[in-house]
Structure 1
Amino acid sequence: MLTTVHSSVMSATARIDHATWERKLKPACVLDYNKKMGAVDKADMVNSFVECARKTTKWYKKVFFHLVDTAVLNGHIVHRQQSGRVIPYQEYRLNLMKQLLEVHHTPRRPSTGGRPTSDNPLRLTARHFPSEVPQTATQGSRTRRKCKVCTSTSRRRKERKVTKFMCVACNVALCAAPCFEEYHTLKHY
């Protein structure tokens, strides 16, 4: 152990060496650590339920994710002390992830083929407003597109409906009611 707080003194412990019947000696820094290690054990226990590290052969990845988990736990403790509100650690982690996604999310470019991409998590959290589908040169003011919810719903019978409304933020055509609300509030519409 490296320390700048303790000297290199060996101190007697409560354990006895059965061969010599004398008290076992340990460095003072080890005894001090063992006295105060309860907080470290508690932090490791709390993180063990929600840790983001997975089985991997890369040791540096484990170290990195352990440091991230420790930083998030420290943030939770500071948040609890500063705000006076007690929220569960798992809820704090979820709120942190959502806020990071909202701030640092960059939309993906449209797919050029292959499997469809997963749903955008911001469609359920960001602010969305209906607007009319922009006019095209060929159709003029009668521009319409297929409603995404009506053609891919799992809650009711699928239909092929065309609409003149869309969500500009999501770039998705949607019927004004009830599809617009369903698309932005339900995970599985």
Structure 2
Amino acid sequence: MKQMRRARRGTFYTRQNGQLTATVWKDSCIMMLLSTAHQGWRDPAIHTLKRKCIEENTGRLRSTTIPAPPQAVSYTRCMGGVNRGDQLRSYHTCARKSQHWWRGILYFLLDVARVNAWLAYKHHHPTTDDSDSSISDGDAKETTKDANTMTHSKFVPDVAVGLIDGYAGGVPPRQVTRSRPVPAYNNQGHYSAKMPGRNARWCRWCREHNILTKAGLPKSSQRGCPVCGVNLCPGRCFLKYHRASDIENDSTTTTTD
């Protein structure tokens, strides 16, 4: 590294092992590059970069061409791809907050796979339109586009439909009602159900025994006993009301006898 700091701008050294190439290049600072897509040699005709350097005689900045390894040339031409990838991921991301670290990695990989699929689709279908990926929804409505033109916003639901279509069938889950019928104590004909009408009515048991709410009113309920035709709170009021009916019926039968 000390030798590279004293070297001229544009000097580079490479070491290659199979497909892996390590490069150290002297630009305004020392840049270290690792690549599996480039070789360790450069073509003097095309592997150059324009930089502004200070002239030794005048001390002014002047544009000049310096040698550069192919790794640096490709990086300079394609840099910003990470930011562009993050931008595409943010449009239709599936990321959600979670306390589990592995879920963040899973959401990231899903977004990267979706962006790569869109880039591959654009590569094989040059007629696609990518303008809606960087404008707002309001501007997108004002832009006139062909209905058949594939855009990023249309591509994402098409991928979801293509993955789900044909595999979404199955047995629908059995719906379990939240409120089950309360068993009656006098006979099996009485049951708790929702009474007709849109509004709740006062509970017969609460009103007879002066059970009030914090506002000083009898409790109201939409449920009751359709056999008796009265509104009752489900649970305790329903059971106590029918127990009282049993006691009254028993006492009336005893008196008659």
TM-score, normalised by the number of residues in structure 1: 0.45
Specify the structure having the higher radius of gyration (Cα). 2
TM-score, normalised by the number of residues in structure 2: 0.34
